[in-house]
């Protein structure tokens, strides 16, 4: 299979938009493991998607991998590899600090959070790596967690040190970008049960951040990584939420193109949802009624055990990333429409965000019936779906 109509030079689309898929779909905690995944999987995706053009990589680096790659000889070798393979990096996923596959992650994905100096140090290292990988005048982004997890620190009691560490990171970003006239920015990612998860909570957090900072450049350096899956789970309207963020002067650092699981809580669907319960990732559930969020559960198994209501006008939205191009089978659904609505908004505001990333990291834990092909072909199909959607909105030439 080869996609033959959509790939464009440098994978840069209209208005200098760039598109990648996040390599957190592949295993890799050490740099050796991460690099092996790039060679084993990413290059095969490139061959299917754009064999003759430069290919953008959405790089996921854990702390161990980042420390190794930051060594000058290792980084130089990677730069040469990128050049040889006709690839480049414009964004790094800095949300998961440690291991992200094959072992229990759950709420530990939020540790260390932004109250911990280790989170600050790790994120600065990611920007130091990105600065070396970019050419003068280019734009680069790093995405990160929404400060912390509500279970660790209730939103009204988030320690001030979290704001201080984010502001310190902004100062480091500002320092790093000057020599090469880069546009570097950090994207805080609203997520269900994170310190901020809805658009109003996000705006409130950024008001606190700016009040604490006093840095006039902060709005250019720190923004939001808008994950379509996460905001769909909150029953938010993409057009309204994105416009609110823009009106509040909050930069859109990156758009994560991702789709969540949704279902009416019928006995049949509850039974089907049992196959999505697994021990690695946290699958927060938001129950909505008449299109508005009503109650939240930390994980899918907890919701299945405790939410006994079965109202006809209720719907569950579950933090389980499902493939963009393929809805779940049967009576289960997805939030693909949120992705399309986000792209519609981007078409109306084409300069609002230039970094797009597909993120379906749950491949290994998807029920077997949704793993109908290899991960390489699945990612290629997501490219096909996404690029077609961009083309329909004149965002892809």
Which CATH number characterizes residue 82's domain?
3.20.20.150
Domain containing residue 340: 9-259+334-392
Report the distance separating Cα 237 and Cα 319, nearest Å.
Answer: 17
Report the distance separating Cα 45 and Cα 247, nearest Å.
Answer: 37
Report the distance separating Cα 267 and Cα 200, nearest Å.
Answer: 34
Q: What pLDDT sits at residue 364?
A: 86
Flag whether 241 is in a domain: yes
Report the distance separating Cα 177 and Cα 222, nearest Å.
Answer: 13
Which stretches in the chain have pLDDT values below 50? 1-9
Identify whether the C-beta of residue 73 lies closer than 8 Å to the C-beta of residue 248.
Answer: no
Q: How many other β-carbons are positioned within 10 Å of the β-carbon of residue 268?
A: 13
Closest CA to 26 of 17, 16, 36, 18: 36
Flag whether 264 is in a domain: no
Q: What pLDDT sits at residue 8?
A: 41
Tokens linked to 345: 């908004």
Flag whether 2 is in a domain: no
Tokens linked to 165: 């560490």
Report the distance separating Cα 169 and Cα 167, nearest Å.
Answer: 5
Q: Cβ neighbours of residue 111 under 8 Å, at least 6 residues apart?
A: 97
Flag whether 296 is in a domain: no
Q: What pLDDT sits at residue 312?
A: 74
Closest CA to 278 of 308, 315, 324, 321: 321
**Helix (H) / strand (E) containing 212:** helix 199-213
Count the domains in the chain: 1
Q: How many other β-carbons are positioned within 10 Å of the β-carbon of residue 155?
A: 16
Closest CA to 232 of 317, 133, 294: 317
Flag whether 129 is in a domain: yes
Flag whether 121 is in a domain: yes
Report the distance separating Cα 211 and Cα 213, nearest Å.
Answer: 6
Report the distance separating Cα 153 and Cα 318, nearest Å.
Answer: 23
Strands 285-289 and 314-322: antiparallel
In the sheet where 292-297 sits, what is the strand order?
Answer: 292-297, 285-289, 314-322, 259-263, 333-334
* C-alpha radius of gyration, the chain, whole number: 20
Q: Cβ neighbours of residue 305 under 8 Å, at least 6 residues apart?
A: none
Identify whether the C-beta of residue 165 lies closer than 8 Å to the C-beta of residue 114.
Answer: yes
The predicted-structure confidence for 349-389, as pLDDT tens digits, reads as follows 999 999 999 999 888 888 877 777 899 999 999 999 999 99
β-partners of residue 21 are 358
Flag whether 276 is in a domain: no
Tokens linked to 145: 């967690």
What's the 3-state SS for 70-126? CCHHHHHHHHHHHHHHCEEEEEEECCCCCCCCCCCCHHHHHCCCCCCHHHHHHHHHH
Flag whether 273 is in a domain: no
Measured in whole angstroms, the distance separating CA 183 from the mean position of its chain's CA atoms is 19
Closest CA to 115 of 166, 188, 155: 166
Q: What pLDDT sits at residue 310?
A: 65
Angle at 153 between CA 170 and CA 306, to 5 degrees: 130
């Amino acid at each position: 299979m080869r996609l033959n109509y959509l790939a464009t030079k440098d994978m840069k689309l209209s208005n200098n938009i760039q598109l990648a898929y996040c390599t957190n779909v592949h295993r890799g905690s050490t740099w050796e493991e991460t690099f092996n995944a790039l060679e084993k999987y990413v290059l095969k995706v490139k061959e299917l998607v754009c064999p003759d053009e430069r290919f953008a990589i959405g790089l996921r680096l854990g702390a161990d991998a980042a420390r190794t790659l930051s060594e000058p000889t290792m980084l130089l070798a990677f730069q040469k590899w990128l050049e040889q393979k006709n690839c480049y990096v414009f964004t790094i996923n800095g949300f998961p600090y440690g291991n992200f596959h094959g072992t229990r992650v759950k709420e530990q994905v939020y540790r260390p959070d932004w109250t911990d100096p280790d989170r600050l140090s790790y994120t600065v290292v990611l920007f130091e790596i990105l600065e070396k990988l970019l050419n003068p005048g280019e734009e680069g982004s790093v995405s990160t967690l929404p400060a912390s997890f509500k279970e660790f620190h209730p939103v009204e009691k988030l320690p001030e040190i979290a704001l201080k560490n984010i502001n310190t990171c902004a100062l480091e970003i500002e320092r790093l970008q000057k020599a090469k006239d880069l546009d570097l920015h950090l994207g805080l990612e609203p997520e269900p049960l994170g310190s901020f998860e809805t658009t109003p909570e996000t705006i409130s957090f950024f008001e606190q951040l700016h009040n604490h900072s006093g840095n006039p450049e902060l709005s250019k350096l720190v923004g939001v990584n808008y994950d379509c899956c996460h905001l769909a789970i909150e029953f938010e309207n993409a057009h309204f939420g994105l416009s609110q963020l823009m009106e509040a002067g909050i930069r859109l650092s990156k758009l994560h193109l991702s789709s969540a699981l949704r279902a009416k809580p019928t006995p049949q669907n509850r039974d089907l949802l049992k196959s999505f319960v697994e021990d690695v990732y946290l699958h927060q559930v938001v129950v909505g009624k008449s299109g508005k969020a009503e109650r939240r559960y930390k994980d899918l198994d907890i919701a299945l055990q405790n939410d006994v209501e079965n109202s006809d006008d209720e719907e569950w939205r579950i933090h389980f990333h499902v493939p963009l191009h393929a809805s779940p089978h049967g009576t289960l659904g997805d939030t693909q429409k949120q992705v399309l609505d986000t792209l519609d908004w981007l078409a109306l505001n084409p300069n609002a965000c230039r970094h797009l990333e597909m993120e379906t990291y749950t491949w290994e834990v998807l029920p077997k019936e949704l793993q109908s092909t290899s991960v390489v072909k699945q990612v290629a199909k997501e490219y096909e779906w996404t690029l077609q959607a961009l083309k329909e909105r004149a965002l892809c030439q």
